[in-house]
A = this chain, B = another copy of it.
Amino acid sequence: MEPNLEGVKALAFDVFGTVVDYRTTIVAEGQRLGEAGGIEIDWAAFADAWRGRYRPSMDRVMRGELPWTNLDALHRAALEELLAEFGVSGLSEEEKQRLNGVWHRLRPWGDSVPGLLRLKTRFVLATLSNGNVRLLVDMAKNAGLPWDLIFSAELARAYKPDPRAYRMLQELLMLNPNEIMMVAAHQDDLRAAQDLGFKAAFVMRPLEHGPQAVPDLTADPSFDVVATDLVDLARQLGL
């Protein structure tokens, strides 16, 4: 049966991995920093380890072991640990701040900007990201991401997949849940949105974790759309 998507008015986007390619950007910036400073480490392993701290850090906040901490601060705490673990010493405070800021400069996948521009002609495009507001603002400005609304878990003080993040966006948009479609490369994010009545579009990003990784690309039959990228999503939505 064809899913009925006629009532969808807004698309809510996961950002890290779905819209931007954090791994390639971090490797590229790390290698430049390494060449300039004589640091020889495996930047791909570093990027994977940094991203690997993401979920555990947010879980600590959501369990109440940490007070509310935005993603920039969680990234920075993880960075300090990883620099020690990878044996990198001697970075100045300014260099560390610059490196932590790489998350503000992540590059979009090649299809992201053209796909979003097409989708924007019919839908309200909102971020629904665990990235903090400033991070998302800088990223959008740097990468030319044409959001209509930057919404962040920071505003709900609840990281996805906590339902409060999705619910708050829905309330601000003054839409019914089934008028919003979550767009993400991650099944758990989509399922959390579906639990609240959102529609779900799964975007396959086979390279999110690098060319050697084997990510879970299983499309749950309950997903309303399965797209190979954001241009394909636009096409499937008739744009």
Contacts and interface: CB of A to CB of B under 8 A. Distances in A.
A162 to B, nearest CB: 18
A213 interface: no
Interface residues of A, number: 16
Interface in A152-185: 154-155, 172-174
Interface of A: 72, 124, 132-134, 137, 140-141, 148-150, 154-155, 172-174
Contact of A141 (B132, B137, B148): B148
A116 to B, nearest CB: 13
A173 B134 contact: yes
Q: Which 4 A-B pairs have the closest CB atoms?
A: A133-B172, A134-B174, A137-B149, A137-B148
Please give the count of copies of this chain that the complex contains: 2
Contacts of A140: 148
Contacts of A134: 172-174
A54 to B, nearest CB: 19
A149 B150 contact: yes
A72 B172 CA distance: 11
Nearest to A123: B141
A124 to B, nearest CB: 6
A67 to B, nearest CB: 14
Contacts of A72: 174
A195 B71 CA distance: 30
A141 B155 contact: no
A132 B141 CA distance: 23
Nearest to A151: B133
A154 B151 CA distance: 13
A50 to B, nearest CB: 20
A154 B172 contact: yes
A173 B141 contact: no
Contacts of A133: 149, 172-173
A3 B137 CA distance: 27
